[in-house]
Structure 1
């Protein structure tokens, strides 16, 4: 196996592991937030949580696969580490942006819900 293929394998492996770990962590901790947002409706909160996780996987793993290509060949172990650091670093940044976008959107939904409650609406 040449170093370019090894770099691809390590990149995919690390990216998938990081994506699964982040998705599970967000799902566990986000469930409580969703239950509060949805006024205690556990069933709907669970469904929304699963939908968010699926969307998270689709976005991140789609990005990972589109970003996989390395321009040229990897000729040394040093080049392998350099390519991996750029690739994995970018994946981590994308994971963070997706997470922040989710939190922002959920916070906006919560604020809207709180305003409606304050006005007496359901």
Structure 2
């Protein structure tokens, strides 16, 4: 079998495995964060979590597929490792950037929600006093 094809098969296997592992890890650990962002609305947090995972799969697996092609033929074992290291390194960087982007956006939403909660009075006003009447 051609070493270029071996490189493609190993690249796809590792990239898809990494994508699935990262998506599951982010999904299970991000659920609590989403529930906080969405003010305790658990069904909405679950739905948003599933949508984020689907989007993550689509973007990352699409990138993995587009990045499969190699400009050079792989001729020996060291070429396999060199090609794999470059391809997998870029995939890992893209996974990290996607993760940081998600966390950044969700943190912005969370901060806005916390600020809105802090601006509301803890109890509704009990009565209204005319200026100068009670002082």
Global fold match (TM > 0.5): yes
The aligned length equals: 121
5+ residue gaps, structure 2, are: 122-135
Structure with more helix by fraction? 1
5+ residue gaps, structure 1, are: none
Matched, 1:115 2:115: yes
Query: Equivalent residue of 1:36, what SS?
Result: helix
- Over 4 Å off, 4+ runs: none
Query: Equivalent residue of 2:24, what SS?
Result: helix
1:7, 1:73 → 2: CA distance?
10
Matched, 1:55 2:55: yes
TM-superposed CA distance for 1:89, in Å, is 0.6
Normalised to the residue count of structure 2, the TM-score between the two structures is 0.87
The worse-fitting range, judged by mean Cα deviation, of 35-44 and 25-34 is 35-44
Which one has the largest radius of gyration?
2
| Superposed CA RMSD | 1.1
2:51, 2:85 → 1: CA distance?
31
